[in-house]
Structure 1
């Protein structure tokens, strides 16, 4: 298992720059009284979130903060800094490793740099359905995956919903892998992402996200892939009307603590933080479901055609070469998921 800790020298300058704008990085303390009138110290922690205040992951983070404060009788207070106030995902991860930020929420994809095992969550059609997915992520297998960050100065607490990625294109309704064959589909710069698209008979075209709208509009590419909210907020629905609802990939978000903070918590408080993280998942998922519903309604009202897929079997069969290539790397996790 490969673990990686960001260079202290390189990240110190990042941390200093951010902290100069945000104030001291030290954990703050203040005094107050509990419900019984007994004096107690309050430790204030920072949680970095790069999404807006009303985004589902921010809503989840705020619920986590509320639960921690409630369960510790106010001994810990978590301030959620939304909208990227403390930096982008990369710099926040580095600050978390240094301990200059206490907590954050990050997508699992960039975290595969610190845990090879977490990459299994990017495999196509990994789960049978949403119920199985969240039973696994909130259960023993999910907890074991979070523990694979050991040695990276990161501590995984829980998974948050980031939706299911599906395909959309400018050319035609796509109901089978044969329909997508030959189309130029934009993907992220990732060997796995490229292999998935190519296994379906399409042509994977790595491209920066900001270039996708223009590329769809001008015919440089025929399609792309993402979840409903991103399809809507990026305005890709304006130029790519055919959206195939087949949820081929559903990489989750991860709520993380710095190892520095974690080691300062008592065993009892560590349990409280984990419990609060897990309990906040239902609130975050509800907020995500509401956002998906709103986005889906909006794109349909604007003329998009949603192609529902009842049987994913042909799609699962088409991506078998991906499992042949990466299966050995993730063998332990795939066996556990399939046998769950």
Structure 2
């Protein structure tokens, strides 16, 4: 009896020591994660909270994450700068804003009408092309940025003061979008006037008529009530961009972490990516219905003229950025 008790106690002690060793194997680490969306219902927030939860669960609390929803800046360029300087550790940014760091090749993922559907998009970003772009980001930034994976921001559509029935309806319209690069070239080529407005100021710009319209995915512009503004009532489903967002970590900081910490962060990133993408798809349906219920108007349009207008813009930009081979790979995956 005494011998059996001794063996049982010894076994329990081994388990406790073993578990303690696993916990102690992960050094304590605090990460600051940020995105530019101020809505707490944003898919970005859902994804970041899942990243936080996964990091803390997988590390038994050794790795903690502070999530900032627009509180470190509503400008993506500001978030990129904070990441570079170490004021943030993980951020979500678009290809357009990332290209301002001098990494022009990533404009590829911003090409209008690049993707046919979500299946096509997933094959690209989760495959060879996504890996090649991630390597370019790391090398060109001199390890300032490391891609942890790709989030979605839904399918972008036009919304504005009037519906679109054909391309000619865009002539002279001031559209809030990027004002440089391939996105601006596309909108300019079809008659619109690309206009720069910070995301946090767009509601007021639509309400006051500073811009005639904008373009984004349902979860994002409906959560901000843009469809209730003077110049945001009409949505035309142009479907011009299956959007890609980069989940970035400071590369130098990542390299300084232990192998255990790196593994946990990468696993948590994958969990957050899956959760964020699912949330985007769910919210696209949900917020389109909210828009309709609240008086917004939606119409479809023949996209083929837009697609044809985008093709030469894609070809020209691919040559300019040296990504002709990657563009062809994407087209071949359709």
Aligned 8 A contact 1:57 1:284 in 2 = yes
1:298 aligns with 2:290: yes
TM-score of the pair, normalised by structure 1: 0.77
Q: How far off is 1:116 after superposition?
A: 1.5
Further displaced range: 159-168 or 321-330 = 321-330
Decide whether aligned partners of structure 1 residues 276 and 211 sit closer, same or farther in structure 2, where only a CA change above 3 A counts: closer
More displaced 10-residue stretch of structure 1: 99-108 or 323-332: 99-108
Partner of 1:125: 113
Mean Cα deviation higher: 139-148 or 187-196: 187-196
Q: Structure 2: where are the runs of 5+ without partners?
A: 1-15
Counterpart among 151, 155, 162 of residue 164 in structure 1: 155
Aligned equivalents of 1:42, 1:261: Cα separation in 2: 14
Report deviation, 1:152.
4.3
- Using the alignment, how far apart are the partners of 1:108 and 1:64 within structure 2? 21
Kindly tell me: are residues 271 and 335 of structure 1, through their superposed partners in 2, closer, same or farther at Cα, counting changes over 3 Å?
farther
Structure 1 stretches (4+) deviating beyond 6 angstroms? none
State whether structure 2 residue 75 is matched by structure 1 residue 64.
Answer: no
Q: SS of the counterpart of 2:153?
A: coil
TM-score of the two chains, using structure 2 as the length reference: 0.78
Query: Where does 1:215-226 land on structure 2 (aligned, <5 Å)?
Result: 216=206, 221-226=211-216
Q: Which structure has the highest helix share of the two?
A: 2
- Work out the CA distance in 1 between the residues paired with 2:187 and 2:62: 46
1:94 aligns with 2:96: no
* Length, aligned pairs only: 304
Distance 2:310 2:300 in 1: 19
What SS does structure 2 have at the residue aligned with 1:104?
A: strand
CA contact (8 A) 2:121 2:242 kept: no
Structure 2 vs 1, CA of residues 121 and 55 (structure 1 numbering), >3 Å: closer, same or farther?
Answer: same
Q: Deviation of residue 312 (structure 1)?
A: 2.9
- Determine the C-alpha separation between the residues in 2 that align with 1:166 and 1:321: 21
Q: Does 1:36 align with 2:36?
A: no
1:243 to 1:84, Cα distance in 2 relative to 1, 3 A: closer
Map Cα deviations across residues 26-55 of structure 1 (whole Å, 9 max, x no partner).
Answer: xxxxxxx88724361542221321335443
Query: Is 1:335 matched up with 2:328?
Result: yes
Distance, in Å, in 2 between the alignment partners of 1:143 and 1:275 is 17
Whether 1:80 and 2:66 are equivalent positions in the alignment is yes
Partner of 1:176: 166
Correspondent of 1:195 among 180, 185, 203: 185
